[in-house]
Chains A and B, each alone.
Chain A
Amino acid sequence: MNWNHILTVYLKELKDSLRDRRTLISMIVIPTLVMPGLMFGVGYIMTKVMKKAREEPTSLVILGGAEAPGVVAALRAEPKFRIVEAKADYRQLVSDKKIRLAVEIPAGFEAALQAGEPKTVTLYHYEGELKSGMGVAAVERFLRDFRERTVTERLTHRGLPVSLVKPFEVKRQNVAPPEKVGGNIIGGIIPYMIIILCFTGAMYPAIDLTAGEKERGTMETLLCSPLRRVNIVLGKFLMVMTASVATMALSLVSMGLSVVAGGSLLGGGRAAAAASSAGAKDAAAGFIPLLDPLGVLGVFAMILPVAILFAAVLLAVALFAKSYKEAQSYVSPLIIVIIMPAVLGMLPGIELTAKTALVPILNLSLVCKEMLSGVWHWPYIALIFGSTTVYAGVALAACVWMFNREDVIFRA
């Protein structure tokens, strides 16, 4: 190894890449402008849609109800509801999302209520549809209150205490410190994002520096120089690493900033955000400042061997291809290979054990989740760092081996 040669190759590749519009787009423009723009845009639209759905009165049809004027009047008096004239095709109306639900009040409802006979109120809704679900929840809440009022009235009427039907209360109390709540909620998403960004950031330069060079005919020019192949590989490898880490760091910083800025602008609030999955990103707005900074540093330290692994694997795979296009067709399916273990790590049932600590990517996903929630399992951290470093070393050695193979370099 000759560090002078490695540095010369690295600096040339860096200069060359920074002049390439495609690299600039993938390394700088997309992470800093497009990603946060997309997140901000999607978050903004989701928040708006949710807000509108919540503020809009629930449109409903009342079926029956002629013998229950009290309930109907209470429903009509409630400003959250907008009563639509009863029509025979109420099912169709619900299906067509013209109304959120239909409330069927059985015949003789109020008389049965007076007599103490149980009756069933049916709510016709559209399962899985957001607005219909919100409407059903609102009507259920209304009817529950109505039922409780009726029970209270009856108990008072008979001179009995209300506690007769409510012998005890249930109350929740959170003991987790706020940064751990943050770690748990976004701890699964952050490693996932980092893994994907690290990989996609390395993809383009890895292809450009290998198959791209072969296609443009500069590889042979470079191989004529009195450098050992290992120095060429390491110089190129450092450039791919730079792109990978830069893409990830720029994305995280700009996303963090836009989430914080967006969160305070939109004022979504935690409760509202928890209502939807897209809202989870919004929830981060409240939590990111509360993330354990040591945990964030830990995540960056753990990502290093993974970035090495990605850069080396991508270089080796792309080098095998004759052309840019061929390399793309080899590299693109690898994204799925990377995503699967990263997604597995987000699932609740999968925990960090001595076995999962040896599975690359999955182990990173799991340990990052723990570190962001302030849990430091040092033996696992050492095992993961160590095993990933070994994998990365093997991948880098494979990459050097590929560069030394004549049938790969001069593949016709």
Chain B
Amino acid sequence: MIAALNLTKIFKDRKRGMIAAVDQVSFTCRPGQIYGLLGANGAGKTTTLRLLATLLQPTRGTATVAGHDVVADPVQVRAHVGFLAASTALYGRLTAREMITYFGRLNGMTDAAIRARLQVLAGELDMDEFLDRRCDKFSTGMKQKTSIARTLIHDPAVMIFDEPTLGLDVMTARAIVRFVRQCRDRGKTVIYSTHVMSEVEKLCDVIGIIHAGRLVAEGTLAELQARYGERDMEEIFVKAVGGEAALAAALNT
């Protein structure tokens, strides 16, 4: 379960002064549900997810993730979260097994528990062939699989995905999407950020549209289609953010 309440993050910028990267964002995501955070570049998706993963501290507001408050108890939040982003890379000089074991240990697991869990994950993700090879020699697909196993080693209740398909080839991207669905089907709480409209349509149970740090629209695909009178997600998105001019203005700041 994720419940964000008036989550706000203000950055100081030398040129632009105080910038609200996330501005009073509130939403709820329940177990067994995929919450899609849709927004253009710089809309505040990554900052929101970093706040939920406690990599950043909110300026105002708070959020409860897996029953723990992100401000009061960030360590417990991280212990129950699996965070996967384009910016969470692998240690190139470690093997996949060492990488995953390291994160198992950091999560306080015993070596026996790690071994057992890794065997299951390697089977599910078809990793056995490259488990003992160094990550710097991996293809993109192998890297993603290893990253997924890394986020799942401690079997977290909440999964946070920050544009996980960014820059991936079609096959790998499809595998990721399939995997995200599996997470939902196993009852995990999943939040997924992207700027790819088709992924949101296919994947997300609830869609939140974020623009200039604010959550401007929220609902299921059907609800949004009804509200904006459009079938196409892209059209819905453009209407929700206030038209193409508003989108262009936000991208230029």
Interface positions of A (Cβ within 8 A of B): 5, 8-9, 12, 15-16, 19-20, 216-218, 220-221, 223-228, 406-407, 409-410
Q: Out of B55, B89, B105, which one reaches A223, CB within 8 Å? A: B55
Q: Inside 8 A of A225's CB, which chain B residues have their CB?
A: 78, 103, 106-107
Q: Does B188 contact A (CB under 8 A)?
A: no
Complex Cα gap A19–B50 (Å): 31
CB distance from A391 to the nearest CB of B (A): 30
Q: Are B83 and A224 in contact (CB under 8 A)?
A: yes
The answer to whether A217 and B87 have CB atoms under 8 Å apart is yes
Distance, CA A103 to CA B106, complexed state (A):
81
CA distance A406 to B50 in the complex (A): 11
Which residue on chain B has the smallest CB distance to residue A8? B105
Judge if B102 is at the interface, Cβ distance under 8 Å.
yes
Task: Judge whether B242 is part of the interface by a CB distance below 8 angstroms.
Answer: no
Cα–Cα distance between A217 and B89 once the two chains are bound (Å): 5
Whether the Cβ atoms of A220 and B79 lie closer than 8 Å is no
Residues of chain A within 8 A (CB-CB) of B203 are none
Query: Which residues from B are CB-within-8-Å of A221?
Result: 88-90, 150
Q: List residues of chain B with CB within 8 A of the CB of A224.
A: 53, 55, 78, 81, 83, 88, 151
Can you pick out 30 interface pairs between chain A and chain B where the beta carbons lie within 8 Å of each other?
Answer: A5-B106, A8-B102, A9-B106, A12-B91, A15-B98, A16-B91, A20-B93, A216-B92, A217-B87, A218-B88, A218-B91, A220-B55, A220-B85, A224-B53, A224-B55, A224-B78, A224-B88, A225-B103, A225-B107, A226-B75, A226-B76, A226-B106, A226-B108, A227-B106, A228-B75, A406-B56, A406-B57, A407-B12, A409-B55, A410-B55
The one of B78, B89, B107, B134 in contact with A218, judged by C-beta atoms closer than 8 angstroms, is B89
Determine the residue in chain A with the shortest Cβ distance to B162.
A220
B106 touches A217 (CB 8 A): no
A220 lies within 8 A of B108 (CB)? no
User: A226–B57 Cα gap in the complex (Å)?
Assistant: 15
Contact B106 A220 (CB under 8 A): no
In the bound complex, residues from chain B placing their C-beta under 8 Å from that of A220 are: 55, 85, 87-89
Distance in Å: Cβ of B107 to nearest Cβ of chain A: 6
CA A9 – CA B103 in complex, angstroms? Answer: 10
Pick the contact of B94 from A8, A16, A226 — CB < 8 Å?
Answer: A16
Chain A residues closer than 8 Å to B88, beta-carbon distance: 217-218, 220-221, 224
The closest CB in chain A to the CB of B85 belongs to: A220
* Docked pose: A5 CA to B85 CA in angstroms: 24
Q: Name the interface residues of B50-72: CB closer than 8 Å to any CB of A.
A: 50, 53, 55-57
Report the separation of the CA atoms of residues A223 and B151 in the bound assembly, to the nearest whole angstrom. 12
Q: How far is the CB of B49 from chain A (nearest CB, A)?
A: 11
Are the CB atoms of B106 and A218 closer together than 8 Å?
Answer: no
List the A side residues contacting B81 at CB < 8 Å: 224
B132 → A minimal CB distance (Å): 14
Q: Which residue of B lies closest to A216 (CB)?
A: B89
For A8, A216, A224, A228, which residue has the most chain B Cβ atoms within 10 angstroms? A224
Chain B residue numbers with a CB within 8 Å of A5 are 106
Complexed CA–CA distance, A19 and B98 (Å): 13
* Most chain B CB within a 10 A radius of its CB, from A19, A217, A220, A225: A225
